[in-house]
Amino acid sequence: MSRVWSCLRLWLAATFRRSRLERDMDAELRFHMDTYAEELVRSGVSRSEALRRARIEFGGFEGAKEECRQARGVTFFETLAQDFRFGARTLRKNPGFAIIAVLTLALGIGSTAAVFSVVNAVLLKPLPYPHADRIVMPWWAWPVTDLGDDFPWGQRDFLAFLRQEAAFQSVGAFKPDSFNLTGFGDPIRLDGIKASAGFFPALGVPPLIGRTYTQEEEEPGHELEVVLSHSLWLERFGGDPAVLGRSINLNGLPYNVIGVMPPGFVFPRGEEMPIVLGFPRQAQLWIPNPTPINPAGPQDLAVVGRLKDSVTFEQAFAELTVFGKDREREYPQAAGYYTPRLATLGRQVVGDSRRALLLLLGAVGIVLLIACSNVANLLLARSLLRGKEFTLRSALGAGRGRLLRQLLVENLILSMVGGLIGTLIAWAGVYFAKIFGPSNLPRLHEVTLDLRVFTFALGVACLTGILFGLPPAFAATREGLVEALKERGQSATPSSRLRSILLVSQVALALVLVVAAGLLVRTFYSLLRSEAGFNPSRVFTFQLTLPAGKYPDTDAMARVYHSVLQRLQTAPGVQQVGFSSAVPLGGPPDNTGIRIPDRPVTSVKNTPPTANYLFAAPGYFAAVGTPLLRGREFTESDTLEAQHVTIITSTMAQRYWPGKDALGKQVGVGLTRFPLRTIVGIVADTKHTSLSEKSIPEMYVPYTQNEIHVWPNMQTMQVALRTAMDSSSVLGAVRDALRSVDPDLPIARPATLATLVDESVVQPRFSMLLLAGFGVIALLLASIGMYGVISYSVARRTREIGIRMALGAAPREVLRMVLGQGARLVSVGLAIGLVASFLVARLMTSFLYGVRATDPTTYAAVCALLTFVVLLACYLPARRATRVDPTVALREE
Amino acid sequence: MDQQLGLLQGTLDMLILKAISLGPLHGYGVLLRIQQISKDRLEIQQGSLYPALYRLEHQGWIASEWGESENKRKAKYYRLTAAGKRRLQTETQKWNRMSDVIAGILGAAPEEV
C-alpha cells in the first residue's frame, strides 16, 4: 500500500512541478528581454523601439521555450501522465468498446472480490481470541466411521487426562445443555454450555464484568453459578450491571450470576463443532460442569485447550498419543478407540467449509480468466483497427516501447475503472450473501469489505490490466509498420492466431465451469428427491424441554409427556401427533453399542455393533410420515410391565440380519444387566442432520419403557404434529395445550418440517446457485467472445466473401463457411474442456450426492448447451456475411 | 575584422561553460560575457542561449538558483558544478587538439604530403 502511495505522490509532484517549471522558464526569458531592452533605452532608443528590437534579436519566444522544454528532458511521470490523458481521451471517443470492456472486467473482478471477501473472513482472518493459533481441540478418531471423524471425550478420560497432561496452559471440557429460564416474563428456553474451569482460560477471553468460574465451582455443591452472554444480558436483564450476584431460576434451580462475557463471545457456535454433538447455534450462558460422583458417563464432551508457549503442536499430539496408549492398557476391551486427533481451533471452526470455499474461489477464478481473455480479445481487435494510428505515430518517431506503454496505460485505465465498479459489485454481493447465504457457514457474520479485500481487488485489476494487455499490445505493435504498408486482408496473422487461442481457452474454461455447476445442480435435485423417510407437508414440530427441578425421574417425565400427548391429540386442527428424541432433520440422536444374541462379538478387534437409540411415542411415525415397512407401531400398552419392544430401521435390519427376517428377533443395549428387546416393527430410515447423510442403524424404544433411566436424556423431546390446514397456524393451540398441562413448559425451535428440510439444504443450494450463476456468466462471456471473433473475421473477409458470391456461391454456402469456422474453434475448445472437466470433477467428489463425477448425461447436456449458445453467437455475424452485396464489397477497396 | 562570425556547431556549450567558470551568471550575463571576451566578434542568437543552458543543467554540468540582479530584479543564476568543471577541461583539451590538427591540415604545403 505504501508503495502505491509513494508512486502516486511522485506522480502528483511531477504534475505540479511541471507548472512551476513553466512559470520559472517564462520569468527567466522575460528577465533577459527586459534587461536587454533597458540597456537599449539607456543608449537612447525609445522604449517601444527598444522592446521591438529586443524581441527581434531574441528570436521566436515560444519556439525557444519549446526547445528549452525538450532540452530539460521530460520525466517518466510526465509522459505517463500524458499517456493517461491520451488514453482516457481515446477511450471516451469509443464508449461502446470501453463500456463492454469495463463491465466485463467489473463482473470478473467484482465476483472474485466478493468470493475473496468471504474466503478472507472465514479462512484468513484470525479468530477473535488472543493468540488463537495456540488454541487446539483434541478429539478421538473412532474406528466406526459412520459417526464422523471427530469423536468426543468421556468424562472419565478427560479427568485422567487433566491429571497427567503437561502440554497445556489450560484445558477445559464442555458440552451443550438447554435451560428453562423462569421468573423473568414468559418461560424461555436458553441454549447453554456446561463447561469445566479450564474452558475460559483456554480461550483467553476475560469477562466484560464480574468473573468467570474457577476450579472451586467444579466441586459438587458449588456448581450453581452462571456466566451470561452479552446478548442475553441486554435482552433479558436490560444490560444492568446489578445483575451480578442476583439469583436466576434455570431448570427450576437458583443460579447465581457471577459474570457477563463481552459482546461477540458465543463460543462454541454450533456450526463450528461436529454436528453429532448437537451444539446450539450460539451459546447464551455458561455454567460449571460439576465432576459427577460416577464419572463413567457417555462420551459427549468437546475439549478445548491452550498450549503452553514452549510446546509445539506436534509435542501436544505426541502427549495425546501416549495418553491414548495408557487408556488402552487400562481398558483393553476399548483397543482401537483411543487414536487421538488434534485440530487447531482455526481448522476446527472452518471445518468442511474450507473445501467448499476453495471450490467457489476456483470457480470465480475461472470467471475472471474468461472475462480477462474476453477483454484481451476486444483489445486485440481494437488495436488492429487502430493500425493506421500506430503507423502514423511510429512514423512520427514514437518508439515501440512508447506505443506499448500507451496501450498498457489504456488497459490499466480500463481495469482500474473495472476494478472500482467491481468493488461495488463485490459490496453488493457480500450484502446479499449475508442475507441469503447459508447461516451455517462459519464466520459469515464477520464478512466485510476490508482493506485487504480492496487491495486484492485493486491488485487483481492491475495484474489483469498488465497480463492480459501485454499480448495484444505486443501483437499490435509488431504488426504496426510492416502490416500497414502491406495490403490488408492476410488470413493468418499472428494476432488472429492469438485470438483463436484465447477463444478456444474461453470455451474450454466455460465448459469446466458449466460442468461443475451442472453436477451441483444434479446433486441438489437428487438431495431433494432422496428418500428422507418422512413426508414434510403440513407437519409442525417443536422442541419440548421439561424443567429439571420439577420432574425428578423418568417416570414423572413419562407421565407429563403422556398428558401433553393427550392434550395435543384433541387440539383443534391436529390430525396426528407424536414425539421422539429427534424428529427428521432435528439433530443427531444418541448412539450406543448394542448386543445381538444372533451376532456374538468374537474378538476384541471385532468392534461391537452400534445403533442410534431414540425414544418414540405412539403415533410418531404416522405424524412425520415415516413408512412402517413391517410389523406395528408403538401403542399405549407398551409399558414397563409389558414385553420390552423396539422398532428398528431397514438399514439396521439389513446390516445385522442380512437375508433374514428381523421381525421377532432380539436386540438390546451393550450392558447385559438390561433386558433384550423384541423387534416388533421395521420402519424406513430417516435423515437427522442432512439429506446427504448415510443412513446408520437405528432403534426406537417406547418412551414408556425406559428401564435404563439415566440414559438417554429424556428431558427433551421433539414433538411432531400433522395438521389439517397450514401447519404454522397450529402454534396457538399448541401453546394452550401445554399451558393446561404445566404453565412452565416452554416451546422451543417451533418450525415446520418443510422449513427444517429447507434449512438443511441451504449450503448446497448456496453453492449450487453461485456456481450456476458463474456458469451463466461464463457462457455469456464466451458467447460475446465468439461473436466478436466471428464478426471481426467476417468484416475482414468481406471482399473475399464478395468475390465468392460474385462467382456464384449461394448464401447458404457462405453461412456454412462462417459457421464452420466457429464450429472448428468450439470443438477444439470442447475437447480441451472435457479433459479439464474430468480432472476438476474428480476433485469435487465430496460435494456430489446421487451423481457420479463422470456422469455422462451431465457432460453431454453441457456440451450441447455450450455448442448451441456459442454457435448462436456465431450465427448473427454469419447471417450478416450472407447479406454481403458483391458489388459493394468489391468497390470497398 | 568587423564582420561577426557565426558560431561553429557544438561550440556554444563549451563557451557557456567557460563563461560561467569565471563566476556565477544569469542568462543575459552569459551572453554579455561571451560578447565581451570575444570583443563582439561572435554572433549568438539570443533565443538559442536558453535551450543550451537547460540542456547543460539537465546533464548536471551547471546548477541554477534564483537571486537578485544588478537592476534589483529576480534572476536565475547559473554556476559550474564539479562535473561541469571536469567537462570544461576535457572539452578544452579536445578543442585544442582538434584545432591543432585542423590547423596542421590547412597549413600543409604540397611538398609535405
Q: Which cell numbers hold the place of A31?
A: 528577465
Kindly report each contact of residues A501-504 with a partner whose C-beta sits within 8 Å and lies 24 or more positions away, as own/partner: A502/A373, A502/A374, A502/A376, A502/A377, A502/A380, A502/A785, A503/A377, A503/A785, A503/A786, A503/A789, A503/A825, A503/A829, A504/A825, A504/A828, A504/A829, A504/A832
Query: Is there a contact between A752 and A624 (Cβ–Cβ < 8 Å)?
Result: no
Instruction: Please work out, in degrees rounded to the nearest 5, the angle formed at the alpha carbon of residue A494 by the alpha carbons of A488 and A499.
Output: 100
Asked whether residue B113 is assigned to any structural domain, the reply reads no
In the predicted model, is pLDDT for residue A853 greater than 70? yes
Mean pLDDT of chain A: 81
pLDDT score for A762 = 76
DSSP one-letter string for A657-694: STTS--TT-EEEESSTTSPPEEEEEEE----SS-TTPP
Residue B58 lies in a domain: yes
Contact A28 B47 (CB under 8 A): no
pLDDT tens, position by position, A668-685: 887 778 888 999 999 999
Task: Say which range, A117-131, A488-502, A508-522, A649-663, has the weakest mean pLDDT.
Answer: A488-502
How near does any CA of chain A get to the CA of B66, in Å?
A: 10
Pairing mode of beta strands A539-545, A574-580: unpaired
What local confidence, expressed as pLDDT, does residue A347 receive?
80
In this prediction, residue A683 carries a pLDDT of: 93
- Distance CA(A683)–CA(A401), nearest Å, equals 78
Taking CA atoms, what residue in A is nearest to B29? A32
Nearest Cα residue in chain A from B70:
A35
Query: What is the rounded CA–CA span in Å between residue A561 and residue A741?
Result: 9
pLDDT score for A489: 45
What length does chain B have? 113
How many CB pairs below 8 Å do chains A and B form together? 66
Instruction: State the nearest Cα–Cα gap between A60 and chain B, in angstroms.
Output: 7
Residue A584 contacts residue A649 (beta carbons within 8 Å): no
Q: Can you give the length of chain A in residues?
A: 893
B112 found inside a domain: no
Asked if residue B66 is part of any domain, the answer here is yes
User: Using an 8 Å Cβ cutoff, are B33 and B19 in contact?
Assistant: yes
Percentage of chain A modeled with pLDDT above 70: 88
Give the B window 27-46 contacts with A, CB below 8 Å: 27-28, 31, 45-46
Burial zone of A745 (CB within 10 Å; 0-12 exposed, 13-18 middle, 19+ buried): buried
A829: pLDDT strictly greater than 60? yes
Look at residues A256, A236, A238 and name the one whose alpha carbon lies nearest to residue A246: A256
- Residue B37: what pLDDT? 86
Res A813: pLDDT: 86
The pLDDT, as a whole number, for residue B74 is 86
CA A508 to CA A867: how far, in whole Å?
11
> Is residue B52 domain-resident?
yes
Cell numbers at residue A54, please? 529586443
Residue found under cell 566578434 = B41
Residue with the larger pLDDT of the pair A599 and A706: A706
> pLDDT of B41-85, one tens digit each?
887 888 888 888 888 888 888 988 888 888 788 888 999 999 999
Residues of B with Cβ-Cβ distance to A36 under 8 angstroms: 28, 46
pLDDT of res. A548: 67
Interface predicted TM-score (ipTM) of this complex, two decimals: 0.87
- pLDDT tens, residue by residue, B20-47: 998 899 988 998 898 888 888 887 888 8
- Interface residue B58 vs chain A (CB under 8 A): yes
Residue A212 identity: T
Q: Does the pLDDT at position A363 exceed 70? A: yes
Interface test with B, best of A31, A62, A69 (most B CBs within 10 A): A31
Q: Do B57 and A32 touch (CB under 8 A)?
A: no
Q: Is the pLDDT of residue A437 over 80?
A: no
Report for A40-44, A432-436, A638-642, A885-889: range of highest mean pLDDT: A40-44
Residues of B in contact with A31 (CB under 8 A): 26-28, 69, 73-76
Check whether A295 has a pLDDT greater than 70.
Answer: no
With an 8 Å Cβ cutoff, is B72 touching chain A? no
User: pLDDT tens digit string along A460-496?
Assistant: 888 877 877 777 777 766 654 555 555 444 444 566 7
B74 is a domain residue: yes
Among B44, B54, B56, B64, most A C-beta atoms within 10 A, so best to mutate, is B54
Give the domain CATH number at B61: 1.10.10.10
Q: Is the pLDDT of residue A216 over 70?
A: no
- Domain limits for position B75: 7-106
Nearest chain A CA: its distance from B2 CA (Å):
19
Q: Choose the closest CB to A32 out of B27, B57, B74.
A: B27
Set of chain B residues whose Cβ sits within 8 Å of the Cβ of A58:
46-47
Provide, as residue numbers in chain A, all residues whose Cβ is less than 8 Å from the Cβ of B76. Answer: 24, 27-28, 31
CA nearest to B73 within chain A: A31
**Contact between chains at A36 and B74 (C-beta distance less than 8 A):** no
**pLDDT of A144:** 54
Q: What are phi and psi of A773, to 5 degrees?
A: -60, -45
Residue A864 has what pLDDT?
92
- Please state the domain count of chain B: 1
Under a CB-based contact definition with an 8 Å cutoff, are residues A275 and A241 in contact?
Answer: no
pLDDT at position A727 is: 67
A419 band by pLDDT with thresholds 50, 70 and 90: confident
Collapsing DSSP to helix, strand or coil, A247 comes out as: strand
Mean pLDDT of A65-94: 74
The mean pLDDT of A400-429, rounded to a whole number, is 84
Q: Is B26 on the interface with A (CB under 8 A)?
A: yes
Residue from A41, A68, A69 to probe the interface with B (highest B Cβ count within 10 Å):
A68
pLDDT at A60: 77
pLDDT band at A827 (very low <50, low <70, confident <90, very high): very high
Give the DSSP per-residue string, A785-852. HHHHHHHHHHHHTHHHHHHHHHTT--HHHHHHHHHHHHHHHHHHHHHHHHHHHHHHHHHTGGG-SSS-
Range from A48-52, A565-569, A699-703, A723-727 carrying the lowest mean pLDDT: A723-727
Q: What is the mean pLDDT of residues A171-179?
A: 88
Three-state DSSP state, B113: coil
